[in-house]
């Protein structure tokens, strides 16, 4: 295969590769957990939600009236963890191994099922039915590695941090209790100094998060009755035999909704902590409003996106209108006793659905690979440089096809 610029241009043009970069909306789903025993005692089997299909529901609030919501999917009582994963998360994981950043956010009031959705009953409980999103993500990554070319090298690293009272703490190293947030043109938002634990197999992927969760629960850093937002980052690096280095970052966030202080009964220190959390989430709402204005602006620009107003908006900056494919799972209670909080969660999801992002394929130069690993990945880095130049113009399917062609050309040159 000829790889000079003119031949490559005609080949791509003939195959219809040239097109504008696509924008993608945040994928939003709602999930209603089963009623608790207390909710059944208080209201029987009455629920506030009425199904109008797999994408639309009517939510009834005695004070506010009836509201119709349409999402990409609504998971009612009876849906399993696997259903949520396959629809909402699996496509993002497959994009991540193809070097497109992804973010999965669970959002809702305390007790609405966020942590259960993300982790299952516990991180170590990995039975097929109750396994959470995080262990399923790791399983999918290793399944991809197992089926990939033996010549392809990979590394997977895990970071876990917690945001509490506007401070970011490393859950793998509790001495790092005020991690700074920085921004890189190449890697986007990064947590400077956060511990990155290599994940070599599935057992390590269970043990390390479980230890981090124990650190979060046993530390005196915060009140045990309060919960900070957890941010889990899986970074995968793949090096192909044709010299193409790809990096995909997958972030999973467990984000608490603002709580009504009078309902939680918080007093004194807990009252102040709840107020700080609510202020941070107000900042998140302001960012979403600004991004929606950007989406519908005739000029396509907004005056200012206030990402820096809070850690809750600074860390997920890439997920909110940046270089990432994003999925939001709004976790709700269907009980009338939690109607106000569930309505707030659903309204948040409806607003977030209007946000657009610009995900792109991440490629690293062979020069950077050589500097880091000591040896070049192949005898010719031109393929990687060409891919880098075309990344902003091509879809992931086109990039994958082009990589296959370069790889085939590389292998044929070895045997010719």
Vertex 142 angle, CA 140 and 146, to 5°: 115
What was the pLDDT predicted at 10? Answer: 40
CA distances to 162, 170, 223, 228, 295 from 216, rounded to whole Å, are 8, 9, 10, 9, 38
Per-residue pLDDT tens digits for 185-228? 777 888 889 998 888 776 665 556 666 666 655 544 444 445 55
Q: Please compute the mean of the pLDDT values over residues 112-122 and round it to a whole number.
A: 89
> Distance (Å, rounded) from C-alpha 245 to C-alpha 384?
8
Q: Which of 211-225, 232-246, 313-327 holds the top average pLDDT?
A: 313-327
> Distance (Å, rounded) from C-alpha 226 to C-alpha 170?
17
Residue 51: partners with Cβ closer than 8 Å, 6 or more residues away:
57, 74, 76
Per-residue pLDDT tens digits for 61-72? 888 889 999 999
> Distance (Å, rounded) from C-alpha 294 to C-alpha 355?
9
Q: Locate tokens 């530390």: which residue?
A: 219
Helix, coil or strand: residue 270: helix
pLDDT band at 142 (very low <50, low <70, confident <90, very high): confident
What was the pLDDT predicted at 247? Answer: 82
% of the chain with per-residue pLDDT over 90 = 26
In this predicted structure, the answer to whether residue 83 has a pLDDT above a threshold of 90 is yes
What was the pLDDT predicted at 106? Answer: 93
Buried b (16+ CB within 10 A) or exposed e, 95-109: bbbbbbbbbbbbbbb
Residue 414: partners with Cβ closer than 8 Å, 6 or more residues away:
none
What was the pLDDT predicted at 190? Answer: 87
Q: What is the CA 132 to chain-centroid distance, rounded? A: 14
Per-residue pLDDT tens digits for 266-297? 555 555 666 666 777 788 888 888 888 877 76
Q: What is the DSSP letter of 126?
A: -
CB atoms closer than 10 angstroms to residue 416:
5
CA distances to 95, 143, 322, 323, 353 from 326, rounded to whole Å, are 11, 22, 10, 9, 10
What was the pLDDT predicted at 7? Answer: 46
pLDDT band at 56 (very low <50, low <70, confident <90, very high): very high
What was the pLDDT predicted at 57? Answer: 92
What was the pLDDT predicted at 366? Answer: 45
In this predicted structure, the answer to whether residue 184 has a pLDDT above a threshold of 90 is no
Q: Residue 78 burial by CB count (10 A; 0-12/13-18/19+): exposed, middle or buried?
A: exposed
79-88, 105-114, 225-234: which range is least confident on average?
Answer: 225-234
What was the pLDDT predicted at 280? Answer: 77
Helix, coil or strand: residue 389: helix
> Distance (Å, rounded) from C-alpha 124 to C-alpha 119?
9
Kindly report the average pLDDT of the chain as a whole number.
76
- Whether pTM > 0.75 for this model: the answer is yes
- 6 or 111, greater pLDDT: 111
Buried b (16+ CB within 10 A) or exposed e, 37-67: eebeeeeeeebbbeeeeeeebebbeeeeeee
Output the six-digit token pair for 120: 């299952």
Helix, coil or strand: residue 245: strand
What was the pLDDT predicted at 9? Answer: 41
């Amino acid at each position: 295969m000829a790889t000079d610029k003119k031949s490559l241009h005609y080949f791509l043009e003939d195959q219809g590769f040239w097109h504008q970069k696509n924008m993608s909306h945040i994928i939003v789903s709602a999930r209603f957990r089963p009623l608790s025993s207390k909710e059944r005692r208080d209201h029987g089997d009455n629920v506030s939600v009425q199904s109008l299909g797999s994408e639309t529901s009517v939510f009834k609030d005695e004070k506010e009236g009836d509201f119709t919501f349409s999402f990409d999917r609504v998971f009612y009582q009876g849906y399993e963890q696997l259903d949520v994963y396959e629809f909402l998360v699996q496509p993002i994981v497959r994009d991540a191994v193809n070097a497109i950043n992804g973010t999965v956010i669970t959002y809702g009031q305390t007790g609405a099922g966020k942590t259960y959705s993300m982790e299952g009953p516990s991180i170590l409980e990995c039975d097929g039915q109750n396994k959470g999103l995080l262990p399923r993500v790791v399983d999918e990554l290793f399944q991809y590695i197992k089926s990939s070319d033996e010549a392809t090298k990979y590394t997977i690293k895990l970071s876990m941090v917690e945001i509490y009272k506007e401070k970011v703490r490393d859950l793998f190293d509790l001495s790092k209790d005020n991690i700074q947030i920085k921004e890189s043109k190449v890697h986007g938002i990064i947590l400077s100094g956060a511990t990155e634990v290599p994940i070599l197999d599935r057992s390590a992927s269970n043990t390390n998060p479980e230890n981090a969760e124990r650190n979060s629960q046993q530390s005196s850093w915060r009140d045990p009755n309060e919960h900070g937002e957890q941010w889990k980052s899986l970074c995968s690096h793949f090096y192909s035999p044709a010299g193409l280095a790809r990096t995909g970052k997958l972030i999973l966030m467990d984000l608490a909704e603002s709580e009504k202080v009078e309902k939680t009964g918080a007093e004194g220190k807990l009252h102040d902590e709840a107020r700080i959390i609510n202020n941070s989430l107000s900042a998140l709402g302001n960012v979403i409003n600004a991004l929606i204005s950007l989406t519908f602006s005739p000029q396509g620009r907004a005056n200012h996106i206030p990402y820096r107003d809070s850690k809750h908006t600074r860390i997920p900056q890439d997920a909110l209108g940046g270089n990432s494919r994003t999925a939001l799972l709004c976790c709700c209670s269907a009980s009338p006793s939690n109607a106000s909080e569930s309505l707030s969660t659903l309204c948040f999801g409806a607003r977030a659905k209007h946000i657009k992002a610009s995900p792109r394929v991440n490629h690293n130069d062979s020069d950077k690979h050589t500097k880091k690993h000591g040896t070049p990945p192949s005898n010719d880095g031109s393929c990687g440089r060409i891919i880098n130049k075309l990344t902003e113009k091509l879809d992931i399917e086109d990039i994958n096809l082009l990589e296959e062609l370069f790889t085939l050309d590389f292998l044929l040159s070895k045997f010719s």
